[in-house]
């Protein structure tokens, strides 16, 4: 009895043993190996298998989180505060991740190397117009950000049908953005190996695309939770954090559009 009293004398949730962190780490390592295999042999089946396994593990991990927070009530105010702070730290680390690539871009933009003729962009790089697909993608991402903000306000006011519809519109815009981005990569007149400009361009837009995919998965997951009535006007933690992440993705794209597409053009 004394031990049980100590056990509940703090606001934290003592997590049970979980296989998911180890399994997802193992699959991430395997995914890196499968990417190398794909680049060498052009066979992407192993990579596809690893991606599906990661999605499966994430779904099981999220299932446990839903059970602990929504049904068992383990997420106290202290835990919610710590989770929000952890998400802020994660987004901050992502900000510095993109800053490193923008730093590289500005280094070459402000002081082009003699190897590329002291020109930026290099002489034979045929740039794509920023007023075509890039502008459409900008409108799509900004509109999706507006949709998820509408979803958040609808949930705060207990308008669940509006929340579902607005989040669905945001997800569809995100998927359309990804389709157009893939088409743009396919139709580009330069590639990753075409000078430092091609490398920076595809690294920045490619990593941003990966973040859009992750954000879209988060939104789809929360759309499922809204349909299952897991949220109310005072319990929105998972939804709010996915929205923070999506707004971060929006801001990064605005910098990409201005600096990578519009400014060199």
Q: Is the peptide bond before 121 cis (omega within 30 degrees of 0)?
A: yes
Matching residue, tokens 């390592």: 29
pLDDT > 70: what percent of the chain? Answer: 95
At 255, list the tokens.
């910098």
First to last CA, the chain: 72
**How high is the pLDDT of residue 6?**
47
Q: For 179-206, how does the pLDDT look when each residue is reduced to its tens digit (9 = 90+)?
A: 999 999 999 888 888 888 889 999 999 9
pLDDT of the residue at 206: 92
In terms of CATH architecture, what is 1-75? Orthogonal Bundle (1.10)
**Hey, how many other C-beta atoms are within 10 angstroms of the C-beta on 252?**
21
Distances (CA, A) of 240 to 104, 145, 207, 232, 237: 32, 13, 23, 12, 5
Listed by start position, the domains of the chain span 1-75, 94-262
Place of tokens 């519109």: 169
Q: What is the percent of the chain where pLDDT is above 90?
A: 48
Structure tokens at 65: 């989180």
pLDDT digits (tens, 9 = 90+) for 211-235: 999 999 999 999 998 988 888 777 7
List of E strands, 31-143: none
- Report in angstroms the alpha-carbon separations of 111 from 64, 99, 103, 106, 229: 51, 18, 12, 8, 55
CATH number for 94-262 (one of 3.40.50.300, 2.40.170.20, 1.20.120.80, 3.40.50.150): it is 1.20.120.80
Instruction: Convert the pLDDT of each residue in 58-75 to its tens digit.
Output: 889 888 888 887 777 777
pLDDT at 11 over 80: no
More confident residue, 92 or 4: 92
Sign of the C-alpha dihedral, residues 104, 109, 113, 119?
positive
Closest CA to 148 of 249, 256, 254: 249
Whether 258 and 204 have beta carbons less than 8 Å apart is answered as no
The pTM is what? 0.87
Half-sphere exposure of 31 (CA within 13 A, CB side): 14
């Amino acid at each position: 009895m004394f031990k049980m009293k100590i056990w509940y004398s703090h606001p934290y949730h003592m997590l049970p043993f979980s296989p998911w962190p180890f399994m997802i780490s193992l699959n991430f390592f395997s995914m890196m190996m499968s990417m190398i295999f794909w680049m060498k042999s052009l066979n992407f089946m192993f990579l596809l298998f690893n991606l599906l396994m990661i999605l499966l593990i994430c779904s099981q991990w999220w299932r446990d989180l839903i059970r602990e927070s929504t049904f068992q009530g383990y997420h106290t105010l202290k835990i919610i505060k710590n989770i929000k702070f952890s998400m802020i730290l994660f987004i901050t680390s992502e900000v510095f991740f993109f800053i490193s690539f923008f730093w590289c871009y500005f280094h070459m933009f402000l002081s082009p190397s003699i190897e590329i003729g002291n020109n930026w962009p290099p002489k034979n790089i045929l740039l794509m117009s920023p007023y075509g697909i890039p502008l459409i993608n900008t409108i799509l991402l900004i509109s999706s950000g507006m949709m998820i903000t509408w979803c958040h306000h609808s949930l705060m006011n207990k308008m669940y049908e509006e929340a579902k519809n607005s989040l669905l519109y945001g997800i569809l815009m995100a998927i359309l953005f990804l389709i157009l981005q893939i088409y743009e990569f396919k139709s580009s007149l330069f590639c990753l190996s075409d000078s430092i400009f091609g490398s920076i361009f595809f690294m920045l837009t490619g990593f941003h695309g990966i973040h859009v995919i992750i954000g879209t998965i988060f939104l789809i997951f929360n759309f499922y939770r809204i349909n299952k009535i897991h949220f109310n006007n005072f319990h929105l933690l998972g939804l709010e954090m996915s929205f923070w992440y999506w707004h971060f993705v929006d801001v990064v794209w605005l910098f990409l559009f201005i600096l990578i597409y519009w400014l060199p053009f």
